[in-house]
Chain A
């Protein structure tokens, strides 16, 4: 066993952990908000809004993330009006920003399906009771529907978070140096293919194990009180 190589691999690939976590957490945060909006649109009863949300989720869930990423990064970068617009170019121009946007839009589609499932699983009686108690629509959503939907959706959302962590590896294809990007660069320098990718894989497994552990704890917290 070559300890120097292992040490070098762990330190080099470890430098990408921060980027991977940033990509995942920022895109999950944006994606959750968008997904919540889309889920509310889906159950709103307005045909235009629910139709839009349905098509959005079908398109983003029906195409590979890699296609979406390349369409935004290379495809939109082709147009002059995007290059000349400072705000658009800030989002599209850099690999990290573009990867965050693609991941966020992608996870928003999956999140909307998960949250929609949570929202439609709420017993009608609870909503009727809230109405009868005179709660306004916003208050009802904040106090009754949203907390119940989240509790219902949390296990599925935990899986989606793992998928986003795994999805961040695609950012390496548009020059972002996260875990996979560092691993690929180190591989081309050392040719120690097996060691490098095994260590990169262990980093991902540790991140995902920590994530699943945290989600389980939250699940237990949300379900246990006074039952």
Chain B
């Protein structure tokens, strides 16, 4: 039984896997940014208890965190792909549903999942800010917008940093699930390569190693950011 290392090298799969990895990173970063925007908005709504909206946010976080990621991706992709294919064909881009659309759905679906976890992180960080700080700022006569910008936001970012790191790790790994609807990212490339060379072991091993490398590199970046966020002269 061959191990498949030669096919991996000679078939040009190394380049394909690296291209897949760049798509994975793109989806991961896009989803994370979308998730953070959602998370900050929803976290603020939950923290400030904006009455009708916070119920919607509660439903959103409960449902998205309680249902498997795979199911959310299936639901969003399959319920809209036919319509998108028809629109694409109407505008003379028949391949839209196969190429561009899984990428877009990937960012939206993973972003929605990431956002539900970010919401909890942001809400927790806001709740951890001592009320005395906000009261002191108010006593000094600061306007509301400045209290938010100068007092609440910087502290929230500092407290939320480790939680955001966790969400990023989970988001990065969730991008692998987009492969089930055919986006040519790292996992999908490994799947295709495994099928065509009939040596799945090496392909999934390499894919796993690339995910691990992405995790380690981003982890050390986050550690540095966390250290930079710590106040000088404390901790």
Give A147-164 interface residues, CB cut-off 8 Å to B. Answer: 162
Give Cα A204–Cα B63 distance, bound, in whole angstroms. Answer: 10
Interface centre among B65, B79, B175, B204 (most CB of A within 10 A): B204
Q: Is the CB of B69 within 8 A of A166?
A: yes
Complex interface: stretch among B35-43, B150-158, B205-213: B205-213
Q: Does B47 belong to the interface (CB within 8 Å)? A: no
Closest to A83 in B: B1
Contact A74 B194 (CB under 8 A): yes
Q: Is the CB of A71 within 8 A of B201?
A: yes
Tell me the dominant secondary structure on chain B's binding face: helix
What residues on B are CB-neighbors of A197 within 8 Å? 71, 74-75, 78-79
Docked complex Cα distance between A61 and B169 (Å): 9
A58 to B208 CA separation, bound complex (whole angstroms): 12
CA distance A131 to B131 in the complex (A): 44
CB contact list, B140-182 vs A, under 8 A: 169, 173-177, 179-180
Is A67 an interface residue, CB under 8 A from the partner?
yes
A166 touches B67 (CB 8 A): yes
Write out the residue numbers on chain B whose beta carbons fall within 8 Å of the beta carbon of A180.
Answer: 68, 70-71, 74
B187 an interface residue at 8 Å Cβ cutoff? yes
Bound CA span A89–B227, Å:
48
Nearest Cβ in chain B — how far from A17, in angstroms? 14
* Min distance, Cβ A215 to any Cβ of chain B, angstroms: 14
Q: Which residues of A contact B1 (CB under 8 A)?
A: 78-80
A169→B200 contact, CB < 8 A: no
For A62, give its contact among B191, B201, B215 (CB under 8 Å). Answer: B215
Q: Is the C-beta of A65 less than 8 angstroms from some C-beta in chain B?
A: yes
A71 touches B208 (CB 8 A): yes
Q: Are A67 and B201 in touch, CB under 8 angstroms?
A: no
Q: How many residue pairs bridge A and B at CB < 8 Å? A: 119
Residues of A within 8 A of B215 (CB): 62-63
A66 within 8 A of B: yes
The tally of residues in A whose CB lies under 8 Å from a CB in B reads: 42
With the chains together, A13 CA to B212 CA distance in Å?
Answer: 35
Flag whether A59 is at the interface (Cβ < 8 A): yes
Q: Does B216 contact A (CB under 8 A)?
A: yes
Q: Does A22 have its Cβ within 8 Å of any Cβ on chain B?
A: no
Q: Bound complex: CA of A58 vs CA of B211, how far in Å?
A: 12
Cα distance, A172 to B75, chains bound together (Å):
15
How far, in angstroms, from A193 to B74 measured CA to CA in the complex? 9
Q: Is A3 an interface residue (CB 8 A)?
A: no
- Whether B78 pairs with A193 at a CB distance below 8 angstroms is yes
A180 to B180, CA, bound (A): 13
- Nearest-CB residue, chain B, relative to A68: B208
A201 touches which of B63, B201, B204, B205 (Cβ 8 Å)? B63
A62-B179 in contact (CB<8A): no
Give 15 pairs: A residue, B residue, CB < 8 Å, sorted on A: A63-B211, A64-B175, A67-B176, A71-B208, A75-B194, A75-B200, A75-B201, A75-B203, A78-B201, A166-B67, A169-B69, A183-B71, A193-B79, A204-B71, A205-B63
Q: A78-B1, A170-B70 are in contact. List 15 more A-B contacts (CB 8 A).
A: A63-B211, A64-B176, A64-B211, A66-B177, A70-B200, A75-B200, A75-B205, A76-B201, A166-B67, A173-B180, A197-B79, A198-B75, A201-B63, A204-B66, A205-B67
The 5 closest A-B pairs by CB, nearest first: A169-B68, A75-B201, A64-B176, A74-B200, A71-B204
